[in-house]
A and B are shown apart, each in its own frame.
Chain A
Amino acid sequence: MLKELLYIVLVGVFANNYVLQQTTGICPFLGVSKKIDQASGMGIAVTFVMLVATAVTYPIQKHVLEAFNLEYLQTIVFILVIAALVQFVEIVLKKFIPALYKSLGVYLPLITTNCAVLGIAIDNLSYEYVTNYGTALLSSLGVGLGFLFAMVLFAGVRSRIENCPSPKAIQGLPITLIAASIVSLAFYGFAGVIDGMLGMA
C-alpha cells in the first residue's frame, strides 16, 4: 500500500513531470525562473493551490456533477471554483500568515490562469491510480512538487546561461527554450525508472 502511494508521488515529480513532460504551466516556468528565490516561491504557491484545488474539485465532480449527469459543466465549474479558491486563499493568507502572503502574494493571482492547476484537476479524474479522495490529493501533491522541482532546477540552469555569450539571434527566449529542451530530455530518462524501482512494472 505504502509502495503505491509513494509511486503516485514519484510519478508526479519525475516521470509525469507536468512542466517538462506534459508541457503545462510553461508561462510561469519561463517567466518566473530567472531567480531561484522567485522560482521556489512560485513553485510552492502552485503546489499549494494544486492541492487545495483538487481537494475541492474532486468532491464536486464526484458528488455534484456526476450525481446530476452534468459532466459537461466540468470546465466551467472547475475554473470558477479554482478562481474563487485562489482569491479565498489570498484573503486568508493575508489575515493569518502575513509573512507568507508577502512572499507568495504576488504569484497567487497569476496561478488562476496557470494551466497546470486546471490540468491536474481534470487529469486526476482519468488517472488509473487515482481511485479515491486520498490518492487524488497525493497525485496533486506529487505533480505540484514536480512543478517546484522543475522551476528550481531550471532557475539554476538559467543563471548559468546568463553568464554565457551566445549568438544574437538566440539570445533571450530561444536559448532559454533550448536549455529547457535539454532539461526536459534529462527528465525523459525517468520514464520507466519509477516503475522499475518500486517493482510495479
Chain B
Amino acid sequence: MEIITALIVLAVIALVCAVVLTIAATFFAVKENEKVVAVRDCLPGANCGACGYSGCDGYAKALGEGECDNPSLCIPGGADVAAQLGEIMGLAAGDVEAKVAYVACNGHCKPEDRKYVYDGIQSCKAAKLNYSGDTACTYACLGYGDCVAVCPKDAIHISKENGVAEVDPVKCIGCSLCAKTCPNGVIHMLGESARVVVKCSSHDKGAVTRKACDNGCIGCMKCQKTCPQGAIKVENNLAVIDYDKCTGCGACHEVCPVKCIHLENFVCGTHF
C-alpha cells in the first residue's frame, strides 16, 4: 500500500510539473522571428563585433528584421556564412575577404633604451598612461598583452624574442578585437591576400626613429621610387601600401634599407 501512495505522490508531482511546464511553454512562448533564429544559428557565435553590431545576436536581429541588407559582414564566418545567410534572406552575398590581424611593429626597441622601468599593472593601456608607455618609440607595441587577453582564438601571443605581439595568421579569424584594443593602434586588419606589409607604425622623422629602433621606417622614399605599380607611398614619414594596386612583386622589400617591409603569406603562415 505504501508503495502505491509513494508512486502516486511522485507521479502526481511529476505530472503537475510537466503540465505546468507544457502550459508555460505554449502560453508564454515568445514568437521569435524565424529568420532571426536561422541567421543566428549560422553565425559562428564568437560575439566579436567585427560586423559592426553588438555581437552575433545584434547582427542576426538587424539582418533578420531587414534593417541591414548585407549578408557578408561576418568576417570570422567568411564566404561560407555569407552564402548561407544570403540563402536564408534571399540576398546576394558579396565577397568576403577573410581578414588577418597584423602587428605593425618590428619590436627592435632596445631594452636598454626603455624610457623608465615600468612596474605597474601589466597592461598596455595602463603602461600607455605613463608618458606614452615605456618603449623608446612612442608608436611601438608595448608588449603587455592586452591583445592576447581579448583574442577569442588564442591566435596572438607576445613573442619571447623581442617582446612584441605576434599573430598566428592560421588561427586568426579576423575579428579585429585585438586591433580595437591596442592603445597604440599597432595592430592592423589586412586582407588575407596581402603579400607585402610595412612592419612599422612610427610617424616620427627618420632621425628620431633611427635613434629608438634599428628597423623602424625612416621614410627614405626608396620603396616609393622603386615600386613599379606606384602602390607604395610615404605619408607622414611612414610607408603605406595601397593593396588595390600592390602585386606583391617584392621590389620594395629588396630596397628597404632598414628591412621594415616584409613579405608574408597569411594563408599558410609563412614570412620572410
Contact = CB atoms under 8 A, between A and B. Distances in A.
Interface of A: 60, 64-65, 68-70, 73, 76-77, 80-81, 84, 87-88, 91-92, 94-96, 98, 163
A76 B11 CA distance: 12
Nearest to A90: B24
B9 interface: yes
B25 interface: yes
A167 B24 CA distance: 52
Interface residues of B, number: 19
Listed from nearest, the 9 A-B pairs whose CB atoms lie closest are A84-B17, A95-B28, A91-B24, A91-B28, A94-B30, A68-B5, A163-B121, A95-B30, A88-B24
Nearest to B122: A163
B117 interface: no
Interface in B1-42: 2, 5-6, 9-10, 13-14, 17-18, 20-21, 24-25, 28-30
Given A70-B6, A88-B21, A163-B121, A77 B28 contact: no
Contact of B28 (A60, A69, A84, A92): A92
14 contacts: A60-B13, A70-B5, A77-B10, A77-B13, A84-B18, A87-B21, A88-B20, A88-B24, A91-B21, A91-B24, A94-B28, A94-B30, A95-B28, A95-B29
Contacts of A95: 28-30
Contacts of B28: 91-92, 94-96
Contacts of A81: 13, 17
A64 B21 contact: no
Contact of B10 (A73, A87, A96): A73
Given A68-B5, A92-B28, 19 more contacts: A60-B13, A64-B9, A68-B6, A69-B2, A70-B5, A70-B9, A73-B6, A76-B10, A77-B9, A77-B10, A80-B14, A84-B18, A87-B21, A88-B20, A91-B21, A91-B24, A91-B28, A92-B24, A94-B30
B25 A91 contact: yes
B20 A84 contact: yes
Interface of B: 2, 5-6, 9-10, 13-14, 17-18, 20-21, 24-25, 28-30, 121-123
Contacts of B121: 163
Contacts of A69: 2
Nearest to A165: B122
Nearest to B126: A163
A30 to B, nearest CB: 20
B193 to A, nearest CB: 37
A95 B30 CA distance: 6
Nearest to A96: B28
Contacts of A73: 6, 9-10
Contact of A64 (B13, B20, B30): B13
A68 B5 CA distance: 8
A163 B6 CA distance: 56
A95 B13 CA distance: 25
